């Protein structure tokens, strides 16, 4: 990855931040995007030995995504890797949720991926580069009380799978990366039924895969030009396997597992 130009959205915390440090350690030039510019500048200061550009961007806005790509090309002249990592979650039953919550998740998670990929695609085709979608096991397994989240992640997977087929002859590499439960801020910021932030995680983050380990696996998958990356065994690989062959059993196991969360919205 030395001297490759890597664009990372949602880079101010969690997996995105860990990806910034991981790719910097591999010699890449970085373009880091997020809404919280103060956090991005702290990362830029910390990575003083790396070549880093930080851009304040809300990926739900098409013009912000276009500006992000334009700034990356003006600064570095090329884009080799685009990692669509920005995303938000939710925790509410669909029956109780304001539809604005579902729309916001689709705007950030799905449309943010589409907007950034559309703007970066001409540059990625020139370099025969890589586009990555960081989804979730929720993009393979419907998670209760996360209808909007699962819908957005399934949509990203379908979009990128189709994009891969379209570009079989162009040299574009498309990676769908699906972490299992990973320690990050995503659960604290998850939206409740009225659109307010949850504020605290319902899970023991210390028992989850670290963001740093997740970032290492994603970087390796980019390096090896893999098409799919499913992380963690039980919540990841096993769930996907059961979904293919015993979907009814997976539904029951998923329901039982998720209802055990503290203050679960369903019984």
Q: Are strands 130-134 and 173-178 parallel, antiparallel or unpaired?
A: parallel
Give the torsion sign (CA, 218, 219, 220, 226).
positive
8-state DSSP, 232: -
Which residue in the list 115, 149, 154, 255 is annotated as catalytic? 149
Residues 6+ apart with CB under 8 A from 19: 8, 11, 83, 85, 215, 218, 219
- The radius of gyration of the chain's CA atoms, rounded to the nearest angstrom, is 18
Using DSSP, state whether 210 is helix, strand or coil. coil
Active site residue 255: no
Using DSSP, state whether 50 is helix, strand or coil. coil
Q: Which token pair is 217?
A: 């696996």
Nearest to 250 by CA among 238, 262, 260: 238
Residue with tokens 């109780």: 96
β-partners of residue 150 are none
Using DSSP, state whether 16 is helix, strand or coil. helix
| Catalytic residue IDs | 149
């Amino acid at each position: 990855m030395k001297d490759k130009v890597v664009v990372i959205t949602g880079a101010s915390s969690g997996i995105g931040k860990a990806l910034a440090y991981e790719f910097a350690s591999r010699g890449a030039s970085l373009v880091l995007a997020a809404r919280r510019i103060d956090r991005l500048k702290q990362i830029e200061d910390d990575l003083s030995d790396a070549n880093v550009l930080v851009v304040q961007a809300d990926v739900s806005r098409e013009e912000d995504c276009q500006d992000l790509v334009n700034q990356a090309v003006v600064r570095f002249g090329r884009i080799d890797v685009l990692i669509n990592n920005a995303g938000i979650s939710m925790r509410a039953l669909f029956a109780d949720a304001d539809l604005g919550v579902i729309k916001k998740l689709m705007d950030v998670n799905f449309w943010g991926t589409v907007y950034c990929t559309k703007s970066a695609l001409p540059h990625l085709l020139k370099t025969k580069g890589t586009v990555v979608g960081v989804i979730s096991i929720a993009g393979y397994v419907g998670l209760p009380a996360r209808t909007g989240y699962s819908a957005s992640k399934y949509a990203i997977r379908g979009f990128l799978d189709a994009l891969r087929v379209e570009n079989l002859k162009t040299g574009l590499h498309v990676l769908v990366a699906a972490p299992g439960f990973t320690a990050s801020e995503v659960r604290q910021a998850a939206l409740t039924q009225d659109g307010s932030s949850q504020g605290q995680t319902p899970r023991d983050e210390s028992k989850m895969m670290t963001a740093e380990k997740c970032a290492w696996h994603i970087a390796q998958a980019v390096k090896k030009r893999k098409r799919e990356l499913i992380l963690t065994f039980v919540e990841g690989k096993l769930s996907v396997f059961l979904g293919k062959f015993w979907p009814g059993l997976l539904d029951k196991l998923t329901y039982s597992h998720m209802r055990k969360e503290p203050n679960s919205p369903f019984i």
